[in-house]
Amino acid sequence: MEGDYGVPTAPIVTSRFADYVLKDGRYHGMNLRWTFPPYPVGWVPRKTLHGYVEGNDPITGIPLMQEIVDALTQPLTESEKNPEIPERPERPRLLEPDTEANLHRLFLESAWTDGLPIVLPTEERVAEMLTGTDHDPQEVVGMMSVAPYEEKNEYTVEKVAVNAVMAGARPEHLPVILAVASARHPSILSSTGSYGSMVVVNGPVRNIIGMNCGGGAMGPFNYANSVIGRAWTLMSINFGDACLGDNFWATIGNGNSFANQCCGENEERSVWEPFHVRNGFKPGESTVSVFRGWNVMTLGIGAADGLLERIKSFHGMAYTFVLDPLVAKSLKNDGYDNPRKLSEWLVKQADSPFLRPEDINFLVVGGETNPIFQTTDYVHYKTASVDKWIPEGGIRLDEKPLRMPVGLPCADGTCGIH
């Protein structure tokens, strides 16, 4: 409006986000004439809105409507006529040497962690982590920001390794963590709506690094699942520059964000083709698939009708159902020999103008202790290759890899299920 069309504009945003838009404007060279009514504007009585319009801007103390009129009529100042975009300073590779205690304090107080203890990324530890891939440490893996419009931060293989060390991972996990990073999706996002995220691993790498795809796979009972999921959050914080109250605005937050929902798909017990194969990869390839949304409902029962009931009650724009293998088996027995057929049936029955078959995803995860499914309104954003990050000699396992106990007897010694 302003620059291209020459139409003077008075933008309005609630006072809760005044700092954010002012900062964002400075870094975009958009020093607009904002007006800030009190917060919130949504779901308040009409008389409250009347009071906002008749009252003052709580940030500036100026009568709100006078401020709007002035925004359109007061002549431009010199700084408004000649705005400048400040450059953000480059960050050092190494931090100032300090004691272990002081560095832990620095990381915590700088909000470079998730609030839980971390492993400090010393040069030695990062160098060891980098043995988990053949890629050049300075190779750029991607960019991300937790606020979609903000300047994105670039990250290299080495930066990914730093965050993998912090999460407590070992070199065997690095290819999967690099694949997650290559998807360029932060697991947390600045929306007020408290997003949750999920990463699901497919292919041979699941079993090589001991991921749990069976009983309790989404829970805190597996080393690989936990550190891969946690590394994603640490990368999102540090690559996305997430800063609570500055660019991160989730009003309640999401408990899933600590380590996200991270597991492998239970390909061995699924009656369907694996998720990555349905998305164009070969069965022998290893991948990560990243998902994000708001809601998770764990206890779902029933087959196709049960899924439809959830869709009708959620009113989402996308669904990712996590099915115990027993549920997938039951659905196949009902005639849904592939998930696409089921998606199409659900879209037809749901009769929603927004829903498309490709917006409904199915993952098979679980230990067959109960035919239960989990409903999420997660969007599937991307499936990325793990194989490209695996060293030529294969996954670099420790001499004696760390593995947590498997709770259920295994049929084949790998997946944690009968």
Partner 1 sequence: MKDSKLTVLDPRGQPSGIFGRRGEPGSHMMAIFNPATQPTMTVDELIPLRMAPRLDSLDNKRVYLVDTGFAGSHDFFEEVQDWFGRNMPSVKTVLHTKKGNMFADEPELWAELKEKADGVVFGVGG
CA distance 15 to 260: 31
Structure tokens at 285: 């390839």
By CB under 8 A, tell whether 166 contacts partner 1: yes
Site for partner 1 in 246-305 (CB under 8 A): 292
CA distance 264 to 403: 15
By CB under 8 A, tell whether 108 contacts partner 1: no
DSSP state of 212: -
Least Å distance, CB 405 to partner 1, is: 31
Least Å distance, CB 126 to partner 1, is: 6
Complex with partner 1: residue 223 or 378, whichever CB lies closer? 378
CA distance 58 to 170: 51
The correct pick among 19, 22, 23, 40 for binding partner 1 (CB under 8 A) is 40
Complex with partner 1: residue 193 or 216, whichever CB lies closer? 193
Complex with partner 1: residue 206 or 230, whichever CB lies closer? 230
The correct pick among 22, 59, 62, 103 for binding partner 1 (CB under 8 A) is 103
In the beta sheet, which residues pair with residue 322? 363, 374
C-alpha distance from residue 103 to each of 89, 112, 118, 240, 386 (Å) = 22, 11, 11, 21, 32
By CB under 8 A, tell whether 28 contacts partner 1: yes
By CB under 8 A, tell whether 367 contacts partner 1: no
DSSP state of 255: G
Site for partner 1 in 42-101 (CB under 8 A): 42-44, 46, 49-50, 52-54, 65, 68-69, 72-76, 80-85, 87-95, 97-101
Structure tokens at 292: 């994000």
- Residues in the interface with partner 1 (CB under 8 A) total 104
Site for partner 1 in 187-226 (CB under 8 A): 189, 192
Stretch that binds partner 1, among 170-178, 237-245, 257-265, 281-289 (CB under 8 A): 237-245
By CB under 8 A, tell whether 3 contacts partner 1: yes
Least Å distance, CB 105 to partner 1, is: 13
By CB under 8 A, tell whether 9 contacts partner 1: yes
Residues found in the chain = 418
Burial of 7 by CB count in 10 Å (0-12 exposed, 13-18 middle, 19+ buried)? exposed
Tracing tokens 């308040």 back to the chain, one arrives at 44
**Alpha-carbon torsion (269, 270, 271, 272), positive or negative:** negative
Least Å distance, CB 317 to partner 1, is: 7
Instruction: List alpha helices for 209-324, DSSP H.
Output: 223-239, 275-278, 304-314
The correct pick among 22, 30, 108, 372 for binding partner 1 (CB under 8 A) is 30
Structure tokens at 105: 């304090």
Complex with partner 1: residue 188 or 208, whichever CB lies closer? 188
By CB under 8 A, tell whether 11 contacts partner 1: yes
Site for partner 1 in 328-347 (CB under 8 A): none
Q: x/- string (CB under 8 A) for partner 1, residues 111-150?
A: -x-------xxxx--x---------------xxxx--xxx
Site for partner 1 in 375-414 (CB under 8 A): 379, 381-382
CA distance 145 to 152: 5
Complex with partner 1: residue 107 or 336, whichever CB lies closer? 107
Q: How many Cβ atoms sit within 10 Å of the Cβ of residue 210?
A: 22
C-alpha distance from residue 23 to each of 18, 30, 34, 111, 247 (Å) = 9, 10, 12, 19, 9
Complex with partner 1: residue 91 or 400, whichever CB lies closer? 91
Burial of 386 by CB count in 10 Å (0-12 exposed, 13-18 middle, 19+ buried)? buried
By CB under 8 A, tell whether 231 contacts partner 1: no
